[in-house]
Structure 1
């Protein structure tokens, strides 16, 4: 039980830091003509790039995801489930809330365009509401590859993450030194896949059986990161900064790989005392709701920024000291408090919708023994392509609706949904037990 609680804690902790980090670095400025612009804090105040060392927490997402997925797939496999049935359930749990979120945002963009909102404002809003989407196609692809990755784990164990890391370094050389186009896309799977694969190793005790290994990982990762930043070509920022080349996130770099290893090692080092803390029911009652609402918080956490922008910046009520000044930093506290209150309201309002999606999921999730799976694979391919496009260009590129990605996401999600809906009504449906797990 303590291990499961710690994995859930990692999700909650990561979500909290993602939300806090995005809110903290968001800068809004009201121009003399009334327009709202969003200068880039990390570029405007360069020293703030050091803050990304604390707020770049995505390695924990993939580490916890690998831990959960490894256990889920192992149980499903032992019960006779197919890869398609297992993946369909995990993908649908992710795509249902993403589809509803995307539909509502696209509707709002369409209404705004019809009402005459200027293209620059729509593009900024569309970008803000899609900035977190890069995670979704990567996670879906790693989920699709889980049976293969877990088979490699069973065959070669702790040797797989170093091999993937070495491949990622080769790709990084091709990107940074040779400027080979498109090859960097592989590092999204290789670098984040290292964290995911380490989750398998962690679950099976391969990282905790040797007392010094977590310390070596943490110290070695930090040392490698420092060397790559000070002696190599990489910046300190672990979040994309406009104009920086190479960066550390687009695609994930060798420096990001070092940070993945460092965070995984630190996670293992602090696990025992944190697990003891989580055994206290009062602590667990605080952590559990955050973990349960992780997808809602992840998807909707930029909506409060738009609400605050309309309430305080469009009206001219917000004080606007110089960005990065002492007064500006002092105002970050009430800014964060306002956004937190609004987000709590958003989560409350969305409660009935979330419960409805839960019912829909139970009625339409694919059977664990699903075999006729081509609609599922086609639907996943379409959603990955659509989400990737939205992550890059936002929900309103150049102030216009992204019709092709919207259609791809809609049709792809429908194919995944209909796969389970059809299987649920097919005579002679497989008696393989349904496997429930979290994304």
Structure 2
């Protein structure tokens, strides 16, 4: 049986390690933000208190203008996708094989999470755990899963996006930008919030497209003054559309459904990343930085998908230890955050030792037919999209476990008529 081309790690001497650093930093920052948003503890009267302490602070909305760095992740992902597609096609690979490998890289790590949540929910129901407490925890677990739906879409359109970038780079950006604005207008004018999810098709692919421009060296050819001016202009436009438009001052609230401000943040962050490149390059020449980025980067999906379940488990255990779960947002709670961050990091590391194999593809047979690939991709897309729309629940957890099992099996099976 003919085997599929296997993606390999590029020679470190030819790899832009600053982008690996940016990707790892973005995910680690998401973990820290969620650590500051999950408040579970005992109140002064001995009652259980749950809240989102970071969002209660007066500075939070302003901080999200710089702390919402998921657009940067998609810019860096666009760079990696463009490079990966170029390498793939140079080796004789086709779109079907590329989409298959990229889908599998997302589906495999997601499979154990959905299985775990389904088992926990079934066990909780069997022993009679308070359903309201279970629902609150499960919704928290599902919060980051919008990323799977968005990134699956972005990876599926890479061949088409690369073709558009090659033939009409400016035109491709303009078409996507017009679509983003049109969907936002339709959503806000109609009052139908669900229409905003059409922008999954345009916002994140547009930000990914900026990564194509980054790889082409467009940002390299801009002077530092030009990059600063462009980044500042983006933030000024964000301020204008927030002040005079329907968008929230909280950039996390503009995430789902995705909106125009995220595109502007993505462009600004691409400029700032290029400005910081000399300093980041110097940092990434050190073995310590390379080691940290490699260790975290090799299990990045595990860290991203499992950090909230780990945070919730640690918070639950703390409730059982006298004095370990102070009231959320209290001075004692804030003082406990460094210890919780350390505990979360240790548990994630131990967990990754068991789960990191789900991030490796290994040797694959020839890609399945287009029809099988489409079915497998839909099986991978539907569970996180459903969670994005209505939050995690028992039906989505069980259905997700089944659909991701089907997706992984179909993607790894390959064509039977390969020679």
TM-score (norm 1): 0.84
Contact 1:87–1:144 under 8 Å retained in 2: yes
Shift of 1:262: 1.4
| 1:226 partnered with 2:230 | no
Task: Give the match for residue 310 of structure 1.
Answer: 316
Task: Give the match for residue 306 of structure 2.
Answer: 300
Shift of 1:358: 5.4
* Distance in 2 (alpha carbons) for counterparts of 1:305 and 1:416: 27
* Distance in 2 (alpha carbons) for counterparts of 1:21 and 1:405: 25
Question: Deviation above 4 Å: which 4+ runs of structure 1?
Answer: 31-37
Shift of 1:395: 3.5
Match of 2:292 among 286, 290, 315: 286
Match of 2:134 among 122, 125, 138: 122
Contact 1:137–1:388 under 8 Å retained in 2: yes
Shift of 1:26: 1.8
Task: Give the match for residue 332 of structure 1.
Answer: 334
Match of 1:418 among 404, 410, 413: 410
Task: Give the match for residue 6 of structure 2.
Answer: none
Contact 1:19–1:301 under 8 Å retained in 2: yes
Task: Show the 5 A alignment for 1:154-193.
Answer: 154-180=166-192, 182-193=194-205
Shift of 1:258: 1.9
Shift of 1:144: 0.6
Task: Give the match for residue 235 of structure 1.
Answer: 248
Q: Which secondary structure does the structure 1 equivalent of 2:16 belong to?
A: helix
**CA RMSD after TM alignment:** 2.6
* Distance in 2 (alpha carbons) for counterparts of 1:346 and 1:319: 20
Shift of 1:237: 0.8
Task: Give the match for residue 256 of structure 1.
Answer: 262
Closer, same or farther: CA 296–416 of 1 in aligned 2, 3 Å: closer
Worse-superposed segment, 409-418 or 122-131: 409-418
Shift of 1:335: 2.3
Contact 1:195–1:264 under 8 Å retained in 2: no
Provide structure 2 residue ranges, at least 5 long, that are not aligned to the other structure. Answer: 1-12
Worse-superposed segment, 183-192 or 5-14: 183-192
| 1:380 partnered with 2:377 | yes
Task: Give the match for residue 345 of structure 2.
Answer: 343
Task: Give the match for residue 92 of structure 1.
Answer: 104
Provide structure 1 residue ranges, at least 5 long, that are not aligned to the other structure. Answer: 241-247, 430-439
Shift of 1:338: 2.3
Task: Give the match for residue 362 of structure 2.
Answer: 362
* Distance in 1 (alpha carbons) for counterparts of 2:414 and 2:179: 41
Shift of 1:11: 0.9
Contact 1:308–1:339 under 8 Å retained in 2: no
* Distance in 1 (alpha carbons) for counterparts of 2:298 and 2:80: 14
Q: Which secondary structure does the structure 2 equivalent of 1:249 belong to?
A: coil
Shift of 1:117: 0.3
* Distance in 2 (alpha carbons) for counterparts of 1:207 and 1:158: 14
* Distance in 1 (alpha carbons) for counterparts of 2:348 and 2:287: 27
Contact 1:167–1:190 under 8 Å retained in 2: yes
Contact 1:380–1:412 under 8 Å retained in 2: no
Task: Give the match for residue 116 of structure 2.
Answer: 104
Shift of 1:413: 4.0
Closer, same or farther: CA 313–50 of 1 in aligned 2, 3 Å: farther
Closer, same or farther: CA 318–337 of 1 in aligned 2, 3 Å: closer
Q: Which secondary structure does the structure 2 equivalent of 1:302 belong to?
A: helix
Contact 2:299–2:356 under 8 Å retained in 1: no
Contact 2:18–2:280 under 8 Å retained in 1: yes
Contact 1:381–1:412 under 8 Å retained in 2: no
Task: Show the 5 A alignment for 1:10-89.
Answer: 10-30=22-42, 36-41=48-53, 44-89=56-101
Shift of 1:81: 1.4
Deviations 1:223-278 (A, max 9, x none): 111222233332221113xxxxxxx1221222222222211221122122211221
Closer, same or farther: CA 228–378 of 1 in aligned 2, 3 Å: same
Contact 1:172–1:253 under 8 Å retained in 2: yes
* Distance in 1 (alpha carbons) for counterparts of 2:359 and 2:193: 41
